[in-house]
């Protein structure tokens, strides 16, 4: 079941984000803190959990972003699934629901991630779409209005990149 987070999910979400992302070489160990800061700032456009038998087994966050000078974008991340539950379609279900909701309210969605994974949802890199310090192929987007995004993806300050005011 995919649903909005509740106050009772907060601890489980933090543990899940930390446990799932520590398996990735690029993880900084700060990802759960980023989600906490987004939540505290009221900057979670989406905070979706996948629940199975009463347990949180997956999580997806989306927050406001800009691409260059264009507002109305959402940044997706993190998207995590309990490691023992990988390859069961949980991440795909979370992403499908997130994109369905974001299409109704925004200009597009952006993320930094594996092109082989996110490409199946329609994400792709675009010339001139950047995040400082990231290889261009991992900076991806889906423009809902069909206009190719160009410029730096500006994250919420919770990400610690000191970009968005």
Per-residue pLDDT at 160: 77
Tokens 């987004």 map to which residue?
38
**Which residues on adjacent β-strands are paired with residue 143?**
108
Q: What is the pLDDT of residue 165?
A: 42
User: How many other CB atoms sit within 10 Å of the CB of residue 106?
Assistant: 18
pTM of the model: 0.92
- Residue 6's SS3 state is coil
Distance in angstroms (rounded) separating the CA atoms of residues 76 and 44: 10
Domains (ranges, CATH) in the chain? 2-159 (3.40.630.30)
pLDDT in tens, 81-127: 999 999 999 999 999 999 999 999 889 999 999 999 999 999 999 99
> 3-state class of 77 per DSSP?
strand
For 21, how many CA atoms within 13 A lie in the half-sphere containing its CB? 23
Which pLDDT score, from 0 to 100, does residue 116 have? 94
Collect the ranges in the chain with pLDDT lower than 50.
163-165
């Amino acid at each position: 079941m995919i649903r909005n987070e509740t106050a009772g999910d907060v601890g489980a979400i933090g543990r899940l984000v930390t446990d799932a992302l520590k398996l990735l070489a690029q993880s900084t160990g700060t990802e759960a803190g980023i989600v906490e800061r987004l939540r505290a700032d009221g900057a979670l456009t989406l905070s979706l959990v996948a629940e199975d038998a009463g347990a949180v087994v997956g999580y997806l966050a989306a927050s406001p972003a800009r691409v260059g000078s264009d507002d109305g974008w959402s940044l997706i991340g993190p998207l995590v699934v309990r490691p023992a539950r990988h390859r069961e379609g949980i991440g795909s279900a979370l992403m499908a629901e997130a994109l369905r909701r974001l299409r109704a309210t925004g200009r597009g969605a952006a993320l930094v991630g594996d092109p082989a994974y996110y490409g199946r949802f329609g994400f792709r890199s675009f010339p001139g779409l950047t995040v400082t310090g990231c290889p261009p192929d991992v900076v991806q987007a889906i423009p809902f209005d069909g206009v190719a995004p160009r410029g730096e993806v500006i994250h919420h300050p919770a990400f610690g990149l000191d970009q968005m005011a």
